[in-house]
């Protein structure tokens, strides 16, 4: 853990219960003058410390972690819709964590500039994933 955030994390743990909505904590940090990057870093540290440890041998242990945070090299490249679509594919079980990472990597390598929802859908379609895997309807093209 980054020692510079230790006093802030301690203050947040004293002020908020563990089940407090993240939006409320984010609003508090914003009011204290922290920028979006700092708030993201603080929340990541706060909730990673409070996260329950995985149980071994149960059905939950077979599922990969459900939170994927963008790396610095990804933040400016993906549009919100494109990243949300990727997260939805993973959360729905349509792709494994390994497949998710491969889609992200392919998008970063093959798309110049900003990566849009259309770009990600095209890449997902190339590997056999489509909206049908998530229960959506695809238009029939003759």
Domain locations in the chain as residue ranges: 5-50, 72-127
Lowest average pLDDT, out of 32-46, 65-79, 118-132, goes to: 65-79
Per-residue pLDDT, averaged over 25-48, amounts to: 85
What is the average pLDDT score of the chain?
Answer: 76
Task: Report CA Rg, the chain.
Answer: 18
The neighbour count for residue 9, using CB atoms within 10 Å, is: 16
pLDDT of 61 over the 50 cut: no
Q: How far apart are CA 6 and CA 55, in angstroms?
A: 28
How confident is the model over 94-142, as pLDDT tens digits?
A: 888 888 888 988 999 988 889 999 999 998 888 777 555 444 454 444 4
Per-residue pLDDT, averaged over 36-51, amounts to: 75
Q: Which has the higher per-residue pLDDT, 77 or 55? A: 77
Strand partners, 115: 78
Confidence label for 2 from pLDDT (cuts 50, 70 and 90): low
Position 133 scores a pLDDT of 46
The neighbour count for residue 132, using CB atoms within 10 Å, is: 10
| Contact between 49 and 55 (Cβ < 8 Å) | no
Lowest average pLDDT, out of 63-67, 88-92, 100-104, goes to: 63-67
Confidence label for 65 from pLDDT (cuts 50, 70 and 90): low
Task: Read off the pTM.
Answer: 0.47
Rounded to the nearest 10°, the torsion over CA 73, 75, 80, 81 is 10
Counting residues of the chain whose pLDDT is more than 90, the rounded percentage is 11
Q: How far apart are CA 34 and CA 131, in angstroms?
A: 38
């Amino acid at each position: 853990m980054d020692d510079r955030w230790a006093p802030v994390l301690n203050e947040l743990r004293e002020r908020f219960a563990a089940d407090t909505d993240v939006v409320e904590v984010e609003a508090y940090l914003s009011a204290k003058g922290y920028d979006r990057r700092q708030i993201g870093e603080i929340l990541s540290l706060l909730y990673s410390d409070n996260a329950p440890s995985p149980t071994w041998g149960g059905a939950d242990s077979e599922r990969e972690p459900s939170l994927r945070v963008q790396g610095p090299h990804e933040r400016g490249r993906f549009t919100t819709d494109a990243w949300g679509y990727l997260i939805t594919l993973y959360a729905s079980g349509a792709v494994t964590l390994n497949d998710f990472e491969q889609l992200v990597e392919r998008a970063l390598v093959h798309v110049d500039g900003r990566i849009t929802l259309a770009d990600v859908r095209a890449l997902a379609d190339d590997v056999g994933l489509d909206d049908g895997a998530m229960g959506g309807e695809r238009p029939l093209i003759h």
